[in-house]
Amino acid sequence: MTNITRIIPIIMAMMLAMAMVVVAHAQTFPPPGPSTTPQYFTCTEVVPGVSGSNLSHVIVWLRLSNVTTSNGLLYLLDQMYYNVSSPYFHRFITPQEFASWYSPPSSVVSYVVNLAESYGLTVNYTFPMLIEATGTASEVDNFLTALQSAPSGIQQWILSGECIPIGYFHVSSIAPLYRPQYAAVRLNVTNINALLRAGAVNVNGKPMQVIQNQVEIWLPQGLEFIYDELPLFSNGYTGRGLTIAVVDAFGDFNLTLANQYVYQSVACQDLATFNNMFGLPPVSCQVIYPTGTPALTPYDLSTAEGWAVETALDIEYAHTMAPGANILLVISPTAGDDLFTDVEYVVNNSLANFISLSWGAYEDMFYYPPPSYNLLYGYDEVFMQAAAEGIGVFAASGDSGAFDTYWLSLNMTMEPSVSYPASDPWVTSVGGTTLYGNITNTVATRIEYAWNWNSTYLWGSGGGYSFAFPETPGQALIHIIYERTHVYEPDLGIYFRTIGHRGVPDIAADANPFTGVLIVLNGSIFPYLIGGTSLATPLSAGMTATIQSYLYGTGVDYAIGDLAPSLYLLYYRYPSQFYAWSPAYPTSAFSTGIPGAMFVTLGGQNGLYWVIPGQWNPVDGLGQINVYGLAHLLPYITSRSLFISQMQIG
């Protein structure tokens, strides 16, 4: 036997062994659901060296009951969102019904509450899936230590228990830390107001956009125009009577006072100034603090200032796309899991029709030792309740393409990961695009590509496949594409088999900072052009609120709730009517309306995956909302309309 013939079998054997390793890793990762053993995180683990007297929150995440049974919660959600012939189709339940049907046993709740109070904690909330209490770090840690010794009949209902020290941001890797998903480019101009007056493209007297050097600035009325909202606005459908809740950490606060560690919200004042500057109507704006007012400290001030930008962006552009809707700003005192308690507060009290979440954490971090992935399943229960009650949640898919770039700060290799809560199956995940427009009085061109991965800026539309969650029923219905069946995760040391997992995102909207927007922060225009999926998310939530007001206003008894399932049904049943394909239209068409539920993404990539125009893809999902077109196609999937349209079609 020659050397080459000796080598070939060896190489083949090595390749076979490597393939077997890939398959073995794929079969063992990710774990199939939450761990049966609760995962606990004390204050001293979350913030080593934290003072025992430091004010802290503790959250105990509980397992809901009757979720996977034959007539349980998942069955009900499937009937509500995917079975058009079901009497439950888009017929939602109340918080009281949800609590009655799906809460864990009252004996479990009583045990946890009594134990918390016995250690000096004050119980703030008992929601179906979580209990939150407040005390000192020492009291919280003593409680969590005692809870780990609870009887097995109690432990089996606990997913996780975690401490959230107030006022800290120097946390260890085991604690979830949520980051705003915006990106910014500094404007190289000396007088922004002069630029807006002299350089704006106007149509019918309304400013649409400003093209300056390498950037394209979309003005609020330009976004309303280019996403085809004007036909609805002209008939009075602007989101009136509906509420969009924006949940953020810290909020938009007085930055001057903050340097003295004094907290004063200016969010609604900035929104009013924004409206005056850009010709938008006034709005009902309210700020609430369900888990407490933020405490500004030397540890968290710089992070809090970043959240001020995020908050201004969120409320100003949710209002832009639904100028008649109420804005409810819900502020968490930390960028940890108080955010989810605040979401649940909105859901359990039926305070909003739609919720916008422009923040996230990389999903792979929940699997890095020590594992904390049980938390993902606790959060998921919040979003299942929202969906069951008909509250639509939108979440930003992230700004770092297909990757978790946080590893680079640890001198490790970045690896593929989606962002949570965008990866949750009961939210509508929103990716990012680059939106170009050329608008004249006669012709309007809109060209929307993906917000491409840029290895210099380390940004691009977040997308990929979830470790934790299976593909949604809607994604299974249309047979979403798995562009890579396996991806290597160097930091976790595993190969991840993507097939059958939830694809991210569902939809997209403008996110590239170079085709971004202006915000008002502390009373004046911020000297940066802002983008990111933090922009795309409130844009999409606002557009959906406007569509909902049209449906109600025209007598269509169809509460949208979670938007994504309706889109997958429309894509499946009406493929020829789903997309608006043309990049150019008469300008007048944006006043009368353009057919097609979604604008198509014309191409692009996010570093690992690529756009397939006219199909779902893990860069921009199904595409971008066409407000007029989607408003007119959604009634087709009400039970009666579906029956009639099927008879007409054939």
Task: State pLDDT tens for residues 458-499.
Answer: 999 999 999 999 999 999 999 999 999 999 999 999 999 999
Which of 170-184, 321-335, 341-355, 459-473 is predicted with the least confidence, judged by mean pLDDT?
170-184
Surface-to-core class of residue 86, CB atoms within 10 Å of its CB (0-12 exposed, 13-18 middle, 19+ buried): middle
**pLDDT class of 214 with cuts at 50, 70, 90:** confident
Calculate the average pLDDT of the chain: 92
State yes or no: pLDDT of 550 exceeds 70.
Answer: yes
Q: Say whether 551 sits in a helix, a strand or coil.
A: helix
- Which phi and psi angles does 299 have, rounded to 5°? -80, -30
Q: How far apart are CA 509 and CA 146, in angstroms?
A: 47
Contacts of residue 472, defined as CB under 8 A and 6 or more positions apart, other chains included, come to 425, 502, 564, 565, 568
Q: Which of 339, 356, 347 is nearest to 394 (CA)?
A: 356
Is the distance from CB of 131 to CB of 113 less than 8 angstroms? yes
State yes or no: pLDDT of 567 exceeds 90.
Answer: yes
State yes or no: pLDDT of 123 exceeds 80.
Answer: yes
Which CATH architecture describes the domain 170-475+505-636?
Answer: 3-Layer(aba) Sandwich (3.40)
Is the distance from CB of 616 to CB of 480 less than 8 angstroms? yes
Contacts of residue 461, defined as CB under 8 A and 6 or more positions apart, other chains included, come to 397, 399, 401, 431, 432, 433, 450, 451, 452, 453, 505, 508, 511, 533, 604, 606, 619, 620
E-strand ranges in 231-322 read: 243-249, 285-288
- pLDDT, average across residues 10-34: 51
Is the distance from CB of 581 to CB of 429 less than 8 angstroms? no
Domain boundaries, the chain: 27-164, 170-475+505-636
Count the Cβ atoms, other than its own, within 10 Å of residue 476. Answer: 13
State yes or no: pLDDT of 623 exceeds 70.
Answer: yes
Q: How far apart are CA 247 and CA 312, in angstroms?
A: 12
Is the distance from CB of 439 to CB of 517 less than 8 angstroms? no
Model pLDDT for residues 237-254, shown as the tens digit of each residue: 999 999 999 999 999 999
Bridge-based pairing of strands 243-249 and 354-357 is parallel
Residue 19 is predicted with a pLDDT of 38
CA 277 to chain centre: 28
Bridge-based pairing of strands 55-62 and 158-165 is antiparallel
Residue 27 is predicted with a pLDDT of 44
Model pLDDT for residues 155-173, shown as the tens digit of each residue: 999 999 999 999 875 555 4
Q: How far apart are CA 197 and CA 190, in angstroms?
A: 14
- pLDDT, average across residues 336-355: 98
CA 122 to chain centre: 31
Is the distance from CB of 432 to CB of 512 less than 8 angstroms? yes
Q: How far apart are CA 318 and CA 380, in angstroms?
A: 24
Q: How far apart are CA 402 and CA 504, in angstroms?
A: 10
State yes or no: pLDDT of 595 exceeds 90.
Answer: yes
What's at 106, amino acid-wise?
S
**pLDDT class of 198 with cuts at 50, 70, 90:** confident
Residue 639 is predicted with a pLDDT of 52
Residue 5 is predicted with a pLDDT of 36
E-strand ranges in 345-442 read: 354-357, 359-362, 392-396, 403-404, 415-416, 419-420, 428-439
**pLDDT class of 527 with cuts at 50, 70, 90:** very high
Q: How far apart are CA 334 and CA 69, in angstroms?
A: 36
**pLDDT class of 57 with cuts at 50, 70, 90:** very high
Which of 99-113, 121-135, 291-305 is predicted with the least confidence, judged by mean pLDDT?
291-305
CA 126 to chain centre: 25
Model pLDDT for residues 373-402, shown as the tens digit of each residue: 999 999 999 999 999 999 999 999 999 999
Model pLDDT for residues 79-117, shown as the tens digit of each residue: 999 999 999 999 999 999 999 999 999 999 999 999 999
CA 399 to chain centre: 12
**pLDDT class of 189 with cuts at 50, 70, 90:** confident
Question: ∠ CA(472), CA(473), CA(479), 5° rounding?
Answer: 90
Residue 642 is predicted with a pLDDT of 45
- pLDDT, average across residues 62-91: 97
Q: How far apart are CA 245 and CA 126, in angstroms?
A: 21
Which pTM value belongs to this model?
0.94
Q: What is the signed CA dihedral for 526, 454, 212, 511, rounded to 10 degrees?
A: -60
Q: Which of 611, 598, 545 is nearest to 571 (CA)?
A: 598
Q: How far apart are CA 460 and CA 605, in angstroms?
A: 8
Is the distance from CB of 507 to CB of 200 less than 8 angstroms? no
- pLDDT, average across residues 579-586: 97
Segment (H or E) for 116: helix 106-118
Q: How far apart are CA 148 and CA 160, in angstroms?
A: 10
Q: How far apart are CA 287 and CA 283, in angstroms?
A: 13
Which of 158-162, 185-189, 571-575, 578-582 is predicted with the least confidence, judged by mean pLDDT?
185-189
**pLDDT class of 30 with cuts at 50, 70, 90:** confident
CA 600 to chain centre: 21
Contacts of residue 565, defined as CB under 8 A and 6 or more positions apart, other chains included, come to 81, 82, 472, 473, 474
Residue identified by tokens 């562009």 is: 483
Is the distance from CB of 466 to CB of 506 less than 8 angstroms? no
Residue 26 is predicted with a pLDDT of 41
Contacts of residue 37, defined as CB under 8 A and 6 or more positions apart, other chains included, come to none
